[in-house]
Amino acid sequence: MSGTNARFAGLLLLAGLCGFSVAHAFAQAQAPSSEIPPTAAAQISKATPASAAAGSTVTVEIDGSNFSPGVYVSFSTPAIRVVSTTRQDATKLQANLEVNPTAQPGSVTLYVSNPAGAAAQTSFTILPATAQPAPPNPTPIPAAPEQQKNAPTVTSVEPASLAPGSRTTLKIKGKGFADGASVSFSNPGVQVLATRFSKSSELSVDVQIAADAATGSGSLFLVNPDDAEVEHPFEIAAGNPTTTLATTSPTTAPPTTTAATSKGKSSANEQTFEVYNLGEAKTILQNPTQSKGTLILSGKELRYEEGGKVVFRAAATEVREIAPNIVFGINTTTFHVILKSSQMYNFVSTSLRPADTQTIVDSLQRALQ
């Protein structure tokens, strides 16, 4: 067994014994030992400076731990705009801020969020316009030129606001979007169910707004795979919930989670999901596979393609079960497909985000009922 396979097998064994996420173990096997996975919970030790005057522009250095690629900074008030977030390493960030001249002095909350992890928070103070931040502002370290050059731009989000309890599809338009871009929100009551890349100027995002989500102005964050990001206003407003997910609309073609199938062609009658094939349960620890492929729903048929070849094809009547893998009562954030022929396949979304994996399971179960 190669060093990588041996390391992955050890992580999976530990996950099975301790109840850890297999998806997390898979992410650790794929990334360098120094990399932080997007599911990690960020930690903040200090922010310098911890205050800024109304109408000022300031660079805040944030020290902590578990800062993963794609980490971003946000605030509990729209009066502070985060121009950019630059990750120096897993323990240090820089956030360039603009404080609105009309911002009311007082204490607000600064959040640091990894793409799929719980947000860390610390207090931050808005000072009167005549005051100066203290301690002195450190010398800014410019963001990497490549990130600045490739930064995406959002021109519109439709709809621009939603009511608590809504479940719908947002259309994000702009430029510089990359395949694999992720979307998140400053409001913790907004859950991203799925993100679909259409073209460099358009993304579709399925969202669920919690019934008890706080209302008010906030931000949407779009982050490309190279960590270049953009922030755009998004509001949770009181009103009647909207329930018009593209995945459930009878007049809308089923969504695809990738721009094309593994053969490079897309179809309005197909849904495709990029996944990692984890192999059969009995062989995962002996010879873990790290193959990337595509699950394809075509009407009432499910097939899995890998490297341009069909690994299995089954009608809905030939599928015995599709469900999450549970170990010691813990959802491992992976799932299995069991055919009536007793063949079993284990998968995880290539994003390694638990929400994306659950979206795949829900879509497969709904389509093959």
Query: Six-digit token pair at 145?
Result: 């030129």
Give the integer Cα–Cα distance in Å for 299 and 280: 26
Backbone angles phi, psi at 303, to 5 degrees: -140, 155
Are residues 181 and 91 located together in one domain of the fold?
A: no
pLDDT of the residue at 340: 87
Are residues 358 and 288 located together in one domain of the fold?
A: yes
In a domain, 22, yes or no: no
Q: Could you tell me the CATH number of the domain that includes residue 200?
A: 2.60.40.10
- In angstroms, what CA-CA distances link 119 with 24, 188, 271, 296? 18, 9, 32, 34
Q: What are the E-state strand segments in 66-119?
A: 72-75, 80-89, 92-99, 106-113
Are residues 336 and 282 located together in one domain of the fold?
A: yes
Are residues 113 and 157 located together in one domain of the fold?
A: no
Residue with tokens 């795949």, as numbered in its chain: 360
Are residues 87 and 137 located together in one domain of the fold?
A: yes
pLDDT of the residue at 280: 59
In a domain, 63, yes or no: yes
Are residues 129 and 163 located together in one domain of the fold?
A: no
In a domain, 24, yes or no: no
Are residues 296 and 356 located together in one domain of the fold?
A: yes
Give the integer Cα–Cα distance in Å for 280 and 15: 16
Are residues 294 and 330 located together in one domain of the fold?
A: yes
In a domain, 265, yes or no: no
In a domain, 296, yes or no: yes
Q: Please report, in tens digits, the pLDDT of each residue of the chain (369 residues total).
A: 444 444 444 444 444 434 444 444 444 444 443 578 888 889 999 999 999 999 999 999 999 999 988 888 988 888 898 888 899 999 999 999 999 888 889 999 999 988 777 789 999 999 998 755 555 555 454 544 444 456 899 999 999 999 998 999 999 999 999 988 888 888 878 888 888 998 989 999 998 898 888 899 889 889 888 878 889 999 999 888 888 775 443 333 333 333 333 233 334 457 788 888 887 544 443 444 457 888 988 888 899 998 888 889 999 899 999 988 887 667 777 889 998 888 888 888 877 778 778 888 888 888 887
pLDDT of the residue at 133: 52
Q: Could you tell me the CATH number of the domain that includes residue 309?
A: 2.30.29.30
Query: Six-digit token pair at 319?
Result: 């599928």
Dihedral over Cα of 259, 313, 356, 247: its sign: positive
pLDDT of the residue at 31: 43
The last residue of a domain, from among 203, 226, 244:
244
| Domain extent for 329 | 270-367
Q: Give the amino acid at 218.
A: G
In a domain, 33, yes or no: no
In a domain, 11, yes or no: no
pTM score, two decimals? 0.35
Characterise 223 by phi-psi region: left (phi > 0), alpha (psi -120 to 50), beta (else): beta
The last residue of a domain, from among 210, 244, 278:
244
Q: Give the amino acid at 237.
A: A
Are residues 329 and 353 located together in one domain of the fold?
A: yes
Are residues 127 and 155 located together in one domain of the fold?
A: no
Q: Which runs of consecutive H residues, i.e. helices, occur in the chain?
A: 3-18, 22-30, 145-149, 354-367
Domain count, the chain: 3
Are residues 309 and 358 located together in one domain of the fold?
A: yes
The last residue of a domain, from among 78, 111, 143:
143
In a domain, 252, yes or no: no
